[in-house]
Amino acid sequence: MIIKEYETTYLEDVINLFVEEYKVDRTEYKDNFLRFFEHPYQADQCIRIIAVDEDGRLMGFQSFFYWPYVRNGKHYKVYQSGSSIVSRHARGKGVFQKMLGYMEVVKEKYGIDFFIGFPVEASYKSFMSNGWANPFNMQWYIKVKNPFGFLFSWMYPSDNHVKWQGPFNSGVFRMENSREFLDWRQNYQKGRYRMFRYDDGAYTFEVNHKVNTRKGIFTELIIGEVLCSTNDEDFIKQAFRKYRRWLFFQWDIALISFCTNNEQDTVSQYILAYGMKPIERKVYFISKYAPETRSADWLIFRSDIDTW
């Protein structure tokens, strides 16, 4: 088995692997693949690893895409683990582990600081076997707002891309959110988004949300990320008064959900005080080569995950 970096000559073979496995529409999947990996922001930075047999047939694919973080003004070259698949003809032969092992090569070549990931249950153990760490998980919280919200759905726009930009200076690891990063994300994002912003002329408070529909009826407002340009408690209190009023008037929303790793963060505490209750659902957070692995050193929300 040969493990190497992706070559464009394997594009159709990669698409075929995913289409055959997940029975997705081929044209749509290929379009999403190209918009995700070939966008100018990502094309020269993303890492795609393939496994081919002695006859040159594609046996596996693993991706890592550029996902920068910042802490105390320092920018870190971070890569998030993305789509991966192993051909049905090569399973049980350690192909996935071999592709993960190739990270040692690309880390040096691309000058990567560390890797992160949010794996599903099926791949979690494989990452752990490869030496990744699972320092903490993200906890989901939920609040029932208006079970009859579907009666008001006609009042709200069907599509509204998030336009926030940040993060503000922080003592913990936060997703970078440069304008270039957001332009790339919005190039492939699909869904309905809503934005709340409060600015008193000195400080700024922003919350982005994604609107999800459960069971075809109930509308869920997922809090994606919270940005605040100051730790001034008076401003934060005022911002949350405005924010809670804004939430009240989202009449079409049946459920509000929030996911975070750091419940001790000031803004997280304010959101949880809105009546959010923990549920059993969690999200794995894994890392490799990360300089800090305590939950207190990070602030991660739902929008940190690529599928946002």
pLDDT digits (tens, 9 = 90+) for 48-95: 999 999 999 999 999 999 999 999 999 999 999 999 999 999 988 999
Dump pLDDT digits (tens) for 130-144.
999 999 999 999 999
Q: Output DSSP code: residue 150.
A: G
Q: Where are the domains of the chain?
A: 2-131, 138-283
Q: CA torsion, points 251, 150, 282, 45, in degrees to nearest 10?
A: -90
Quick check: 153 pLDDT over 80? no
Instruction: Let me know if the fold of 2-131 is the same as that of 138-283.
Output: yes
CATH C-level class of 2-131 = alpha beta
Q: Where are the beta strands (DSSP E) in the chain?
A: 2-5, 47-52, 58-66, 69-71, 74-76, 78-86, 114-117, 133-144, 174-175, 192-199, 204-214, 218-228, 255-260, 277-288
Tens digits of residue pLDDT in 216-239: 889 999 999 999 989 899 999 999
pLDDT, tens digit, 9 for 90 and up, residues 156-200: 765 566 566 666 778 999 999 888 998 898 888 877 889 999 999
The CA distance from 179 to 59, in Å, is: 37
| Alpha carbon distance 39, 10 (integer Å) | 18
Backbone dihedral angles phi then psi of residue 232, each to the nearest 5 degrees: -60, 115
Give the angle subtended at the CA of 268 by the CAs of 267 and 273, to the nearest 5°: 100
According to DSSP, the residues that pair with 203 across neighbouring strands are none
pTM of the predicted model as reported, rounded to 2 decimal places: 0.92
Q: CA 16 to CA 87: how far, in whole Å?
A: 10
| Domain at 138-283: CATH architecture | 3-Layer(aba) Sandwich (3.40)
